């Protein structure tokens, strides 16, 4: 099989690659036309770019590969995320970043919901400027990564609003994330607690919700089957992407743990040591 790689934009024989399970898997990846790149754990970790990540994005830019950046975080709005990425050396614009809070705001507006209670990092409140914050009778309780802001009282307030009929909107349901070398509880366990207590299910708007990936596809103008999604979370990035019809590429950085290739319910199309190896994937204009 002859394919085109990023490096050098030249025709190269992509098979057989010399060794390694990951290398053999790459041969099975069909050329893609656009990329969705996860941020935390994929491009950077603890505010430091991962080795080779800045150069990898620069190479993609140089070739004109359509790119979008995705994140479930509520710790920063898109404006700040773009500034942080640029400070790390990545060339990224705010409008290229697709965040779960922005997806939540879109969903709430589509439902005609006006009054919301926000269980998120305050930094992302600006994504909800079009809504009224209501701590008496909210129509929706929006739940994201509140971190150490969680308490019994906070959970109990949300529990009562939900029993009174408010919709439960989960920015994401990630089980855990990684910071400063340790795995930390993410929003998922708290969403699950409220689902269990109320006997209802949250509407999940971030990755791996199909609607999140479909919105990304619309902004890229490329068919799902021609988009490769790259991330360190085998469930939200890889399985979500594959379920939405995209290619799922797992990187062994960030929250990756040995054996993740076999978790998540959907096998990755490829496994890379890091985004620095993106240049080995076939791409076509």
Contacting residues toward Mg ion, per CB under 5 A: 38, 40-41, 232
- Report the nearest approach of Mg ion to the CB of residue 73 (Å): 9
Q: How far apart are CA 261 and CA 139, in angstroms?
A: 39
Looking at residue 1, the DSSP 8-state letter turns out to be -
- Report the nearest approach of Mg ion to the CB of residue 63 (Å): 24
Compare residues 232 and 260 and give the one whose CB is closer to Mg ion: 232
Compare residues 186 and 226 and give the one whose CB is closer to Mg ion: 186
Q: How far apart are CA 51 and CA 216, in angstroms?
A: 26
Residue with the shortest CB distance to Mg ion = 41
Selection from 107, 32, 39 nearest residue 73 by Cα: 39
- Report the nearest approach of Mg ion to the CB of residue 195 (Å): 23
| Element holding 271 (H helix, E strand) | strand 270-272
Angle between helices 210-220 and 100-111 (to 10 degrees): 100
- Report the nearest approach of Mg ion to the CB of residue 153 (Å): 30
- Report the nearest approach of Mg ion to the CB of residue 274 (Å): 12
Compare residues 38 and 226 and give the one whose CB is closer to Mg ion: 38
Selection from 80, 240, 222 nearest residue 174 by Cα: 240
Compare residues 41 and 144 and give the one whose CB is closer to Mg ion: 41
Residues 6+ apart with CB under 8 A from 180: 46
Compare residues 38 and 235 and give the one whose CB is closer to Mg ion: 38
């Amino acid at each position: 099989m002859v394919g085109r790689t990023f490096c050098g934009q030249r025709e190269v024989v992509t098979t057989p690659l010399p060794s390694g399970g990951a290398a053999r898997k790459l041969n099975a990846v069909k050329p893609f036309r656009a990329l969705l790149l996860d941020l935390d754990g994929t491009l950077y970790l603890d505010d430091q770019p991962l080795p080779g990540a800045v150069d990898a994005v620069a190479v993609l830019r140089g070739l004109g590969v359509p790119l979008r950046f995705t994140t479930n975080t509520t710790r920063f709005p898109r404006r700040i995320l773009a500034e942080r990425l640029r400070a790390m050396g990545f060339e990224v614009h705010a409008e290229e970043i697709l965040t779960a809070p922005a997806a939540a705001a879109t969903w709430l507006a589509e439902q005609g919901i006006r009054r919301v209670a926000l269980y998120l990092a305050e930094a992302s409140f600006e994504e909800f400027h079009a809504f009224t914050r209501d701590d008496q009778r909210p129509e929706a309780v929006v739940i994201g990564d509140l971190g150490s802001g969680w308490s019994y009282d906070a959970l109990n307030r949300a529990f009562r609003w939900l029993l009174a009929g408010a919709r439960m909107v989960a920015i994401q349901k990630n089980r855990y994330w990684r910071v400063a070398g340790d795995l930390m509880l993410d929003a998922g366990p708290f969403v699950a607690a409220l689902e269990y207590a109320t006997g209802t299910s949250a509407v999940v708007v971030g990755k791996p919700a199909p609607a999140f990936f479909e919105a990304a596809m619309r902004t890229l103008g490329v068919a799902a089957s021609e988009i490769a999604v790259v991330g360190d979370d085998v469930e939200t990035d890889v399985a979500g992407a594959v379920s939405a019809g995209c290619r799922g590429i797992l990187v062994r950085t960030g929250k990756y743990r040995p054996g993740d290739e076999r978790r998540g319910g959907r096998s990755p199309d490829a496994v890379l040591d890091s985004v620095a190896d993106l240049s080995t994937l076939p791409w076509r204009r």
